[in-house]
Amino acid sequence: MPVLTKAMVPSAVATGGSTRVKARVAAKFKKGDKVRTLNLNPLGHTRLPRYVRDKVGVIETDHGVFVFPDTSAHGKGEKPQRVYTVRFKAREVFGPSAGAKDSIYADLWDDYLERA
């Protein structure tokens, strides 16, 4: 079993164990693309928050390739894919009581998104 050595501690504490991977996976979307989040309600783990399901937003940043948490949490492999920051208008998410100029940003995996 691997052991945490003294030399490993600084990076382990600083990165918190990033799940970025080196695999080359093509991006389905690019900055400026309009996307809709899927309405997923899995019994297992997901990092798609409830309040941004079935909402329309715009790709703001492509962060590169990361492990897919929804499979990784259940021993179903890393399924590496792109993670994007997606910008949603606050009113798209929380309706007319939200600020007209406000936006909500969420970091979301390719498998949560479809073209809008």
Partner 1 sequence: MNGVHDLGGMQGLGPVNPETDEPVFHAPWERLAFAVMISVFAGGNYNVDEFRHAIERMSPADYLSTSYYEHWLHAMETLLIEKGAIKESELAAKWAKLGKGGA
Minimum gap (Å) between residue 103 Cβ and partner 1: 14
Binding positions for partner 1, rule: CB under 8 A? 1-4, 8-9, 12-13, 16-17, 19, 41-46, 49-52, 67, 69, 72-74, 93-94
Pairing of β 81-89 and β 56-66: antiparallel
Pair 111, 68: CB distance under 8 Å:
yes
Minimum gap (Å) between residue 109 Cβ and partner 1: 12
Pair 64, 20: CB distance under 8 Å:
yes
Name which of 64 and 94 has its Cβ closer to partner 1: 94
Pair 46, 40: CB distance under 8 Å:
yes
Minimum gap (Å) between residue 30 Cβ and partner 1: 26
